[in-house]
Chain A
Amino acid sequence: MSGTGTSSPEEKAALYRVGDWLIDNRAWVSLVTIAFTAFMAYEAAQLQMFTSFGELLPYTHPFVAVHNKYSRQFGGANNITIMFEVKDGSIFTKETLTKIFKATQVVDVLPDVNHDQIDSIGHRTTRYLTMQGGSISSPPVMRRPPVTQKDIDSIQNIVHYSENIHGILVSLDDKAALIRANFHEGRIDYRQIFYDINHKVIEPFQDENTRIWVAGEPRLYGWIYRYSNDVFWILVVTYCIEWVLRWMYFHDWRGSLRPTITGLLAAIWGLGFINMIGFALDPLMLVIPFLITARAVSHAIQMHDRYYEEYQKNDWHKRKAIVAAFAELFVPTFSGIVTDALGVLVILLIPVVMLQKLAITASWWILAITVSEVLLNPIVYYYLRAPEPEMVILREEGMFKRFMDRVTDLTLSVPGRVVTIVFWASVAILSAIFLRGLTIGDPTSASPLLWLDSPYNQSHTRIQQFFGGVEPLIIVVEGREKKALQEPKALEAMESFQRYVDGDPDIGYSFSLADIVKSINMVFFDTDPRWGVIPEGVARIANLFFFYFAGSPPSETSKYLDPSYTNGHVTFFCRNHQGDTVARIIERCRDYVSKYPSDKVDFRLAGGLIGVTAAANEEIVRNDILMNVLGLVTIYLILLFTYRSFAAGIYMLMPLIVSNGFVNAYMSVRNIGVNLHTLPVVTVGIGFGIDYGLYIVSRIIEEIRVSGNLYDAVKTALCTTGKGVTFTAVTMVMSTMFWTTSNIRFDAEMGALLAMWMGVSFVASQTLMPVLILIFKPKFIMREIPRETARAGAATA
């Protein structure tokens, strides 16, 4: 093999011919590109932004199967919790109870709400047990807003004597009351729900004495949609700053414009493609398209830098310079793009629809850079005026160039090599120590998607303070025969399971059919607590159910059990969804199921927010390491084909492995958990880090073919291509850092993480990799020394 470490002289000559051909056929190539871009722009304009909760779930996980099967009946993960808190007095006043009643009516008509899954003292499905005319009945707590003091006292008494209400829907100090509603999963209109809650619940019912707090997944996504416009601020600021930086680097506007054209074309094609295949943009994934565009710009900067260099080398002949820049950079640019695309495609292996969609769209978008950057390059340059020769000459004498020379001399000197190796070895060891604390799942009780002081997290925390657990874990109890849940043994198993799992300190409270049966039985005996037990006979239990459910429509009873009395559920309301809490509670459930199997019922794990969170976390544990390994293996294979060397991949992956370790250690120290949202971002980072190494190694090979001296080749590569790499890395790190200003904490932290990823992999590519090449003199580079030079060297020796 010879050439730029990547292509033979024949292949290189072919690339020169392709460059010439593109310029000769520029008119129709431009026409086709413009027409296709216009079509894609039309498609991109139709693109919508939404999140589908179902697409966030790992569909192959058994928990998700249980969740999907029973969520409509027993409650899903899309719950909204609205808390009315009074400053003075209690909620038992005419005004507050009327507000709660009316707000409940509003919630009952929200779009996509499950009308049978609303819990509030103002809702028809919240009932209490009473003896009327020698029989048990279960009327709603409030049929209408209270009118007299007697009505208010009656409601207060009912609440205080109902175990399923006091402490659950009304706080124990009577200062707060909850309205809890579940929404049908699918394509929920989070924006509309957010708007309705603000304008139909908070605005009309909040006053000086009444504060309304709202939490839950639909509200969380509502806030994320609200903040998603931050992306436009970030886009505007980074665009302007990058323009100025590129202008300062290239000393003319063409240096600013050319990368913009590449980024814009790729973005239009990428967004258009997303719409064409029927996908939508997820507001939490906006950081990824931004990064892809940044990569497109970054490749363009490399090309533009090379174009300047070739313009000078080719005695200021524009066309020759264009073709030479195209031919010389084709292989590293193309390899870089393919590596990025395939690195992202690895995400396809995660069985989560949203991530799979992301893998497909991001890969296409990255591949679109091939056309916008590589193939259109000669044509765009042809139409643009050539740079001013005096600026091309003088920028080579500039401060930045001198800085690069000095730093390269220091790094490549013998003491510099020692310092470099010791430094990166220390970084690797420290990273390995710290990354052991990396959390899977959410590390805090609040939502990690938003900042701790965000209105959402403040609401979440406030509700937790009054009611403890609000995040449901639903364990479905499947009877082995019809009417199994009328069997005392089945109910006893439910109760026993409930008490066992209740032992976890992060369970706020729990609820099951066994609780209802015990309450009804007690009411039959004048609410004597001694009778708060599960009756012994099947007939007795069947009777209790009959009395309790007789006055309720089937849609209301279905939230407790199915009409055939076969399937029911035990629901635990957990205090938080931290990764370790979820894992511990699920383990407790599994532990009970394996230790105490029942011959009447089976416990099916698990639905509700905690159930699906557990499924996602388990999927991450399975896929996190796999993603990283597959990402690195993919890159290694591409490097193997590009450089036709087994060693090339090892040298070039070294900076990536160090960066990956460093970023994971940072996540561990900063308490950033790995979750379904962070997983693709880190995987994308792996693919992007390789580009720096590709450009530098290709240039080393190119230079060694001329000079025949490894040190000189490395030095020249770092001072020429390395200069472009440095500029690219600095601008990319800066622009990615702007994400830290986002109101969406997830985007901000991902911005910081990716900036760190690119920063560390850049420094390692610029220091560690060249030092390793100088020390170990790899064959895939040394074999490129021209034979005459090698022979002369051997003779001298």
Chain B
Amino acid sequence: MEINFSNAGIFLILFTIAFILMDEYIAKPWRRARLERLAKTDPKVREALEVAARVAAREKGAETD
């Protein structure tokens, strides 16, 4: 198939959507699980996760308010 402006554009839009979905629903949970596993042995990771939890709680509180 000869590539042109239209099919290249459609492909890139689909690629972008697929990539965002992949990051949100596959990579992010995997990353989270990996960090939680690492946090058991690495204090830096544990600290980072604690910060994230604190920020998340603050944001949630702000939303509730």
Distance in angstroms between the alpha carbons of A389 and B5 in the assembled complex: 39
B16 touching A257, Cβ below 8 Å: yes
B44 touching A394, Cβ below 8 Å: yes
Which size bracket describes the interface of A in this complex?
20 to 34
Q: Which residue in chain B gives the minimum CB-CB distance to A236?
A: B8
- The answer to whether the Cβ of B33 comes within 8 Å of any Cβ in the partner chain is no
- Quick one: which of B4, B5, B19, B51 contacts A243, CB cutoff 8 A? B19
- Quick one: which of B24, B44, B49 contacts A253, CB cutoff 8 A? B24
- Quick one: which of B3, B8, B45, B55 contacts A394, CB cutoff 8 A? B45
Q: Which residue in chain A gives the minimum CB-CB distance to B6?
A: A232
Which of A256, A257, A390, A393 has the most B CB atoms < 10 Å from its CB?
A390
Which residues of chain B are near A388, meaning CB under 8 Å? 52
- The answer to whether the Cβ of A509 comes within 8 Å of any Cβ in the partner chain is no
A756 to chain B, nearest CB (A): 27
Distance in angstroms between the alpha carbons of A260 and B8 in the assembled complex: 15
A256 touching B52, Cβ below 8 Å: no
Q: Which residue in chain B gives the minimum CB-CB distance to A316?
A: B55
> How many A-B contacts at CB < 8 Å in the complex?
59
A236 touching B3, Cβ below 8 Å: yes
Q: Answer whether A247 and B19 are a contact pair too, CB < 8 Å, given A232-B8, A236-B8, A390-B49.
A: yes
A262 to chain B, nearest CB (A): 14
A317 to chain B, nearest CB (A): 9
Residues B3-58 near A (CB distance < 8 A): 3-5, 8, 11-12, 15-16, 19-20, 23-24, 28, 31, 35, 44-45, 47-49, 51-52, 55, 58
- The answer to whether the Cβ of B65 comes within 8 Å of any Cβ in the partner chain is no
B45 touching A240, Cβ below 8 Å: no
Which residues of chain A are near B51, meaning CB under 8 Å? 316, 389-390, 393
B15 touching A229, Cβ below 8 Å: no
A511 to chain B, nearest CB (A): 43
Which residues of chain A are near B15, meaning CB under 8 Å? 239-240, 243
Identify whether the interface residues of A are mostly helix, strand, loop, or mixed.
Answer: helix
- The answer to whether the Cβ of B63 comes within 8 Å of any Cβ in the partner chain is no
A236 touching B48, Cβ below 8 Å: no
Residues A251-296 near B (CB distance < 8 A): 251-253, 256-257, 260
Residues A215-250 near B (CB distance < 8 A): 229, 232-233, 235-236, 239-240, 243, 247
- The answer to whether the Cβ of A397 comes within 8 Å of any Cβ in the partner chain is yes
Distance in angstroms between the alpha carbons of A388 and B29 in the assembled complex: 12
A235 touching B16, Cβ below 8 Å: no
Which residues of chain B are near A393, meaning CB under 8 Å? 44, 47-48, 51
B2 to chain A, nearest CB (A): 6
Which residues of chain B are near A260, meaning CB under 8 Å? 16
Q: Which residue in chain B gives the minimum CB-CB distance to A253?
A: B23
- Quick one: which of A239, A256, A257, A397 contacts B12, CB cutoff 8 A? A239
B20 touching A253, Cβ below 8 Å: yes
Distance in angstroms between the alpha carbons of A394 and B44 in the assembled complex: 8
A236 to chain B, nearest CB (A): 5
Which residues of chain A are near B45, meaning CB under 8 Å? 390, 394
A252 touching B23, Cβ below 8 Å: yes
Which residues of chain B are near A240, meaning CB under 8 Å? 12, 15
A256 touching B8, Cβ below 8 Å: no
A390 touching B19, Cβ below 8 Å: no
B18 to chain A, nearest CB (A): 11
Which residues of chain A are near B24, meaning CB under 8 Å? 253
Q: Which residue in chain A gives the minimum CB-CB distance to B47?
A: A393
Q: List 5 A-B contacts (CB under 8 A).
A: A239-B12, A251-B31, A389-B48, A393-B51, A394-B35
- Excluding A253-B20, A389-B52, A393-B44, 11 further A-B contacts by CB distance (< 8 Å) are A232-B5, A232-B8, A233-B8, A247-B23, A253-B23, A257-B20, A260-B16, A389-B48, A390-B45, A390-B49, A393-B51
9 A-B pairs closest in CB distance = A390-B48, A232-B8, A253-B23, A390-B52, A393-B48, A316-B55, A389-B52, A232-B3, A253-B20
